[in-house]
Amino acid sequence: MTRRIKVTANDADGGPVAGTKQSMYSGRVFGVYEEDMVYPDKTVHHVGVVTHRPSAVILPITKEGKIILLRQFRGPFARRIIELPAGKVDEGEEPEAAAVRELEEETGYTAESTKFLFKSLPTPGYVNEEFHCYLVRCGKNIGQKLEPSERSIIVMETSVAEALLMIRDGIIEDSKTRDAIMYYYTFLSHNRISLRKGQQGNMNGEAIEISHGQPLLK
């Protein structure tokens, strides 16, 4: 017998109730608090939570259909990581406005049009940060407005096929970047791309076949 379960985005039925909360750290970027969670059977589980403002993630598409990526130095790994443009949503700012602002600051491109793709929870076990992802069709390039800590950013443009190869081969390691590109290709792109080994192609000896469809954003 199959049991059907209705799952909603806010499925809290039968879950624990928040108990005592204690702030452990509050900084410019994130905070940390500890909390007792009381379950229906009266057991108590002690948890630590990292608080972080929501972030906007941008999947920028140029007029030529290229994806704009960034090679950005990340201190925890002491090397550059390939990522999509992204940034914190400021107090009182809407995520879409943050996406447009971050696109201009990090890539120099204005936004001709935007489309909300999805919201994701990158580390729901102990971080309350939310990613709001937007597909953006790029307008003109007016020049980057980088903060001092961002001046090592390298902007790169790649085809959807090349981005898929970089995901498959582990070159793109960042999860939000993988999520957005795969979402775009799976649900929105009219292109169908076949990647085959053993032939000369665009990257690492791969053959890339692309059947062009209708443009996504008109």
Residue with tokens 């902007």: 155
Whether 150 sits among the annotated catalytic residues: the reply is yes
| Adjacent-strand bridge partners of 30 | 52
Q: Where are the alpha helices (DSSP H) in 121-210?
A: 160-168, 175-183
Which residues contact residue 60 at a Cβ distance below 8 angstroms, ignoring those fewer than 6 apart?
67, 68, 84, 85, 103, 107, 109, 136, 137, 138
Sign of the torsion angle spanned by Cα atoms 30, 84, 173, 183: positive
Angle made by CA atoms 111, 144, 162, in degrees to the nearest 5: 70
Q: Beta strand 86-88 with 109-120: parallel, antiparallel or unpaired?
A: unpaired
Which residue is catalytic, options 93, 150, 173, 206? 150
**Taking a C-beta distance cutoff of 8 angstroms, is the pair 168, 90 a contact?**
no
**Taking a C-beta distance cutoff of 8 angstroms, is the pair 177, 200 a contact?**
no
**Taking a C-beta distance cutoff of 8 angstroms, is the pair 32, 51 a contact?**
yes
Residues acting as catalytic residues: 150
